[in-house]
């Protein structure tokens, strides 16, 4: 019940296109949903996060869409750039446990 399933495993997008990564969770008690970006050889960095009381959050070119009834959330990267090429991880957290459960990651490649 602690799983977070992420898809696709890899994604190739043309420069200027929209990248969409999806995650699904099982535990309805999760109350924090962050996305992390990781470049090779580096640790993950927090990109954007959402709580379940809102359906969408936008920061620049990055948007999280959240569907509580479907237990799904997604990351949309608008106007994708080659510099966005990285691995993206979704995660879900339970505040009382102070732990994050991570998805398996999506390797995004943005072609110039």
Partner 1 sequence: GAGVSQSPSNKVTEKGKDVELRCDPISGHTALYWYRQRLGQGLEFLIYFQGNSAPDKSGLPSDRFSAERTGESVSTLTIQRTQQEDSAVYLCASSLVGQLNQPQHFGDGTRLSIL
Residues that bind partner 1 (CB under 8 A): 4, 6, 31-32, 41-46, 49, 51, 89, 91, 93-95, 97-105
Output DSSP code: residue 78: S
Rounded distance, CA 60 to CA 40, Å? 23
Name the residue nearer to partner 1 (CB basis): 34 or 110: 34
Name the minimum Å distance from CB 90 to partner 1: 9
Q: Is 55 left (phi over 0), alpha (psi -120 to 50) or beta?
A: alpha
Name the residue nearer to partner 1 (CB basis): 18 or 97: 97
Name the residue nearer to partner 1 (CB basis): 20 or 94: 94
- Residues with Cβ within 8 Å of 1's Cβ and at least 6 positions away in sequence, in order, are 26, 27
Name the minimum Å distance from CB 44 to partner 1: 5
Name the residue nearer to partner 1 (CB basis): 77 or 93: 93
Q: Hey, what are 7's tokens?
A: 């898809």
Name the minimum Å distance from CB 14 to partner 1: 25
Q: Going by DSSP bridges, is the β-strand pair 10-14/106-111 parallel, antiparallel, or unpaired?
A: parallel
């Amino acid at each position: 019940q602690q799983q977070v399933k992420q898809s696709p495993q890899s994604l190739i997008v043309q420069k200027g296109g929209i990248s969409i990564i999806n995650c699904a969770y099982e535990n309805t008690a999760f109350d924090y949903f962050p996305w992390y970006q990781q470049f090779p050889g580096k640790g993950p960095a927090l990109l954007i996060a959402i709580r379940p009381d809102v359906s969408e959050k936008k920061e620049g070119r990055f948007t999280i869409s959240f569907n509580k009834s479907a237990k799904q959330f997604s990351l949309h990267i608008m106007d994708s750039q080659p510099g966005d090429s990285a691995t993206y991880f979704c995660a879900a957290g339970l505040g009382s446990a102070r732990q994050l459960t991570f998805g398996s990651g999506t390797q995004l490649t943005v072609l110039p």
